[in-house]
Amino acid sequence: MGKGRESKPHIGIFGRRNNGKSSLINALAQQEIAIVSDVPGTTTDPVRKSMEIPGIGPAILVDTAGIDDTGELGAKRVHKSLATLKTVDLAVLVITHNHFDDFEVKLVEAFRKQDVPFVLIHNKSDVVPPSPQFIHFVEKEFGVKPMPFCALDPQNLEEVISALRKAMPETAYRARSLLGDLLSYGDLVVLITPIDNEAPEGRLILPQVQAIRDIIDNDCIAVVVKEKEVDALMKNLNPRPSLVVTDSQVFLRADASVPGDIPLTSFSIMLARHKGDFENYLRGTPKIAELKDDDRVLLLESCTHHVACDDIGRVKIPRWMSNYTGKKLHYDVVAGLGDLPRPITDYALVVQCGGCMITRKQIKSRLQPAIEAGVPVTNYGMAIAWMHGIYHRAVAPFTLLEKTKEDYL
């Protein structure tokens, strides 16, 4: 299944086989986008469908296999279905015939463990409606009221959509500004964007494009420049920049070229603060200095891409880290949101990419096992800044902002 390639909010559809999960998706989409069959177990692996939900916008619906699937293959399907909880922002539990037993209880426990809000849909209510006693029991025991529905005759579809909209965390679809709280009207921001063999042909990488759009949305001015032209730009630029954002790979050059009184950070640190686990990154980054011989470092790339000969995650960061620490370190690189090659406790440090292609929920879920196990976590840009001796300057725009907020409060 495709993993982590969409930054839209994800809604997972869960329940037993033949409860009408695929029919519900078709009803929500108001078109036949999921295969429907009377044969239990038609949906095997989780299937992703993109659709527009009023009040939320573009979203990804994830159709999962039945939680009651049987046999060795069925157990694998159930495992894959539960694994999608690491990527979804909202769950929909589909039940029928007033059934809420061990399968459903375990699902609710899994939702809560992953901190995923959920909506409870009682499908096929035209055949067997939810009884008052059943509604009372479920609401009392689990704190959620079953919503009667018939996917084949969805007369209360608007009510279901409204429930999804209310349950969906705003952070999943209402994007916070990347840089807005650092800027004032008309500020000038310089973006240092190297054009090397990792840059896509004829365009900029996504974090650079996102930064430009965010700067413009905040009624400010973006000036984009390659690292070789920064010195000349700084001599002639008027007004002075309120902020400079650089590609992490040229941090040292940017630090030398940008006067010390001008705030400087990187695209990766910008993303780390925007959608990563910034507080844990701040705690974990200094642990780079404590790495020992034969420690193992995990590098997490949350998207897949063509690997260049001087790739940032696979080549440059390991090289810089080995040189900085002077230790013999071992590195594992995992692309996408797949399984890890070894237990998380085998690692002395986890280094997460900026995560421009995935959601905040997906990044936090990806890092959760490491944090729970006490394994330090950091981010590409923050690790690079630490190893180049400019960490405190690079995180200062955001840490000073948070300090100012605390003082104000």
SS3 letters across 268-325: HHHHHHHHCCHHHHHHHHHHHHHCCCCCEEEEEECCCCCCCCCCHHHHHHHHHHHHHH
Nearest to 223 by CA among 207, 239, 200: 239
Q: Answer whether residue 205 shows pLDDT above 90.
A: no
Here the tokens at position 142 are 């689990």
Rounded CA-CA distance 95/117 in Å is: 16
| Residue 176 confidence (pLDDT) | 73
Is residue 328 predicted with pLDDT exceeding 70? yes
Using CB atoms within 10 A of its CB, is residue 103 exposed (0-12), middle (13-18) or buried (19+)?
middle
Report the interhelical angle of 157-167 vs 21-29 (nearest 10°). 100
In this model, does residue 293 exceed pLDDT 90? yes
Query: How high is the pLDDT of residue 307?
Result: 45
Q: Which residues contact 349 (CB under 8 A, 6 or more apart)?
A: 284, 287, 288, 291, 295, 297, 298, 375, 376, 377, 378
Domains of the chain: 10-172 (3.40.50.300), 180-270 (3.40.50.11420)
Across the range 115-139, mean pLDDT stands at 94
Min mean pLDDT across 3-7, 13-17, 280-284 is at: 3-7
Q: What is the mean pLDDT of residues 210-230?
A: 95
In this predicted structure, what is the pLDDT of residue 304?
54
Instruction: List Cβ neighbours of 368 (8 Å cut-off, separation of 6 or more).
Output: none
**Mean of pLDDT values over 29-48:** 55
**pLDDT-derived band of residue 197, with 50, 70 and 90 as boundaries?**
low
Q: Tell me which of 134 and 56 has the higher pLDDT.
A: 134
The yes-or-no verdict on residue 354 having pLDDT over 60 is yes
| 120, β-bridge pairs | 93
**Confidence at residue 184, expressed as pLDDT on a 0 to 100 scale:** 93
Q: Please state the rounded mean pLDDT for residues 97-117.
A: 92
pLDDT at 264 exceeding the cut of 70: yes
On whether the CB atoms of residues 299 and 354 are closer than 8 A, the answer is no
∠225-226-230 over CA atoms, to 5°? Answer: 70
Cβ atoms of residues 50 and 126 within 8 Å = no
Predicted confidence (pLDDT) at residue 165 exceeds the cutoff of 60 = yes
Q: What is the pLDDT of residue 387?
A: 96
Check residue 367 and give its pLDDT.
Answer: 92
The answer to whether residue 43 scores a pLDDT higher than 50 is no
- The first and second tokens of residue 64, run together, are 């999962």
What average pLDDT does the structure give for the chain? 86
Residue type, 350: V
Range in 143-157, 267-281, 392-406 the model is least confident about: 392-406
pLDDT bucket at 86, cuts 50 / 70 / 90: confident
pTM of the entire predicted model:
0.64
